Structure 1
Amino acid sequence: MRYIIIGAGAVGGTIGGRLAQAGREVVLVARGAHLTALRERGLRLVTPDGDHTHRLTAVDGPGALGELRADDVLVLAVKTQDTTAALEDWAHRPVAGGSTAGERLPLLCAQNGVENERMALRRFRRVLGVCVWLPSTYLEPGLVSAGGAPLTGILHLGTYPAGGKDPAQEAIAADLGEAHFDAPLPGDVMRWKYAKLLGNLANALEAVTGPFSDEDQLALLDAAREEGARVLTAAGLDFASEDEMRAVRGDRVEQRALPGAPRGGGSSWQSLVRGTGTIEADYLNGEIVLLGRLHGVPTPVNATLAALANDSARTGRQPGALSAREVRERIERAR
């Protein structure tokens, strides 16, 4: 199989680099300065077992590849706000032997949030969700770091909607298993992704107030997650428990310091540091807000965090522009 990584940033770059290191054929899809660096210098992937440079095919989109292959696996690793554009680029592309990518090829949504799979199913017949537990950082063009050890990450993989079995999923899981990942195949991957969504409610808070360093931030995080759990329960959505997640993770993905590589925060923090102008808060905290409105549950904490994160991205603010006290005051005004 050939893996086409659509969005070769922190998550996509790590998955692509590790698969390449395991001897799999990989294509990286990127843009701007990152694409230039990948073409000129290769992908530099820094991990606890070394500093690796992978010189892989790097393209700006499907047009550069021509007809896709029947054994291609598409790994969608862009932020959710970029999902629709990526799907439109790839779904209609012809595949050798007939038909299109949307009809024939598996698409893995290796992304935060729970909306990507639903968006993808409009254009792709074979959609697989991926619950991504993968500490990684992308702040500099061409450079991705991933400090997890002994495993680089855990990638729960499963068909969307639940109940099916894609013919390629076991082979994909085996390839990931040889590339420093564990890839469990749960019957309902979205149950794990909803649990991860609750964890990702921290992203906006970290982006707005900076890395967690005091009790005020932790209290706000607890409030956001408790609000999120109430909303998911009201919506009738099941999610994996903390005990289940601890049992799966154990000490298999411990974050380690990496010499020569920046240690960053979460994906939203990284978006502000890079000044991308967009952030995924509408699909993390905003997912809780949407479900809360649909099911009559107030969500002042997550609504405020989403609004502040979006404002930070639009105005170019760096992480830590607001204190936890200022955020709390804004939440109180929103109640």
Structure 2
Amino acid sequence: MRYIIIGAGAVGGTVGGRLAQAGREVVLVARGRHLAALREHGLRLRVPEGELTYRPPAVDGPDPLGELRADDVLVLSVKTQDTVAALDTWADVPVAGGGTAAERLPLVCLQNGVEGGRLALRRFRHVYGVCVWLPSAFVEPGVVSAAGAPLTGILTLGRVPHGTDDTARRIAADLTEAHFEAPVVPDVARWQYAKLLANLGNALEAVAGPVASDEARALFARVRAEGEAVLAAAGIPYASAAEEQAARGDKVTQVPLDGGPRGGGSSWQSLVRGTGTIEADYLNGEIVLLGRLHGVPAPLNELLQRLADRFARERRAAGSLPVAELVRLADEAERHGG
């Protein structure tokens, strides 16, 4: 199979680089300065064993590839807010032997949250979701880092909305040879919603800095409890903390990397890079949406969603809101929105 990595940033670049290292055929899709660097210098992947360089083809979209191959796997690793544009670009691309990508090819959503898979199902017949546990960072154009050891990450996958098949197992086998653990499960959404609860802290970290102090941890506990209450009201199951711990163990431990400090999660990185967008609408915003649908107030997640969106839109510095001020705003939000 050939893996077309649509969005070769931190997560996509790491997966593409590791697959290339394992001898799999890979195409990287990127844009701007990142694309130029990939074409000129190759993909530089900083991992615990050192800096590795791979030179798979790098393109800005499907046109340079012509017809897609029947054995292509589309790996969608853009942020959720960029999903619709990516689906529009790739859905109608012809595949050798007839039909289009949306009709014939597997689309693997290598994304946080659950909305990417739902959006993809509107266009693609064969959609696979992934619960992504992969500490990685975009360092500079052409360079990504992944600090996990002994495994680079854990990528739990299955069909969307549920089920497994031979395609999922073949993809998992390739990932297993590429420094990942890749369990194939019939209920991938359970694992994605569990990860979503952890990702509710992404916006907190992005606007107020690392969730390290007692004050910040206590606030995150309130945000997560609100999310758990909403999922319970919606009747949505999720893997327990004990299940997650048993599945992860000590398989992915972050180690210091020369020239590759992580510096924060995906939302933090979006603010640092000044992209102008952030995933909060599909993380905290998922809880807000479900809360409104099922009559459960979610004022803390609504606050974090709103603040993260404002920070991204106004290109404010990551971590620049004092935690004490955020706690004050949270208390006020609960009083008026609880």
Q: What band does the TM-score fall into relative to the shorter chain?
A: over 0.9
CA contact (8 A) 2:139 2:260 kept: no
Structure-1 residue corresponding to 2:300? 301
Asked if 1:332 is matched to 2:331, the reply is yes
Q: CA offsets, 1:25-47, max 9 Å, x none? A: 00000111111111111111011
Displacement after TM superposition at 1:139 (Å): 3.4
Provide the aligned length of Structure 1 versus Structure 2: 334
CA distance, structure 2, for counterparts of residue 213 and residue 158 of structure 1 = 33
For normalisation by structure 1, the TM-score amounts to: 0.98
**Residue aligned with 2:166, SS:** coil
Inter-CA distance 115–190: structure 2 relative to 1 (3 Å threshold): same
Structure 1 residues 137-146 or 76-85, which shifts more? 137-146
Q: Is residue 45–residue 145 contact of structure 1 (8 Å, CA) maintained in 2?
A: yes
User: Is 1:216 the equivalent of 2:206?
Assistant: no
Per-residue deviation, residues 83-123 of structure 1 (Å, max 9, x unmatched): 00000100110000000000100000000011111100010
Deviation at 1:50, TM superposition (A): 1.7
> Alignment partner of 1:168: what SS?
helix
The reply to whether residue 85 of structure 1 matches residue 94 of structure 2 is no
| Whole-Å separation in 2 of the counterparts to 1:264 and 1:11 | 15
Q: Partner residue of 2:284?
A: 285
User: 1:16-31 alignment to 2 at 5 Å?
Assistant: 16-31=16-31
Q: CA deviation at 1:167?
A: 3.3
Which 5+ residue runs of structure 2 have no aligned equivalent? none
Q: Distance in 2 between matches of 1:14 and 1:139?
A: 12
State the partner residue of 1:178. 177
Code of the aligned partner of 1:138: F
Pairing 1:227–2:226 present: yes
Q: Which residue of 2 aligns with 1:72?
A: 72
* 1-structure distance, mates of 2:330, 2:262: 30
SS at match of 1:123: coil
Q: TM-score, normalised by structure 2?
A: 0.97
1:112-161 CA-partner distances (Å, limit 9, x unpaired):
01111110001000000000000001131111000100000000010012
Residue 108 of structure 1 corresponds to which residue in structure 2?
108
Give the deviation of 1:187 after TM superposition: 1.1
Identical residues among aligned pairs (%): 68
C-alpha contact 1:80 1:283 (8 A) present in aligned 2: yes
Which residue identity does 2:258 align to in structure 1?
P
- What does 1:173-212 correspond to in 2, within 5 Å? 173-212=172-211
Are the aligned partners of 1:304 and 1:331 in contact in 2 as well (CA < 8 Å)? Answer: yes
User: Quick check: 1:13–1:144 contact (8 Å CA) kept in 2?
Assistant: yes
Identify unmatched segments of 5+ residues in structure 1: none
Q: Which residue of 2 aligns with 1:123?
A: 123
Aligned to 2:173, the other structure's residue is in SS state helix
1:142 alignment partner in structure 2: 142
Structure 2 residue matching 1:107: 3-state secondary structure = strand
User: Shift of the alpha carbon at 1:229?
Assistant: 0.5
CA contact (8 A) 1:139 1:274 kept: no
Distance 2:10 2:262 in 1: 12
Amino acid at match of 1:101: A
Asked whether the 8 Å contact 2:153–2:252 carries over to 1, the reply is yes
Greater displacement, 229-238 / 137-146 = 137-146
Contact persistence 2:139–2:145 (CA under 8 A): no
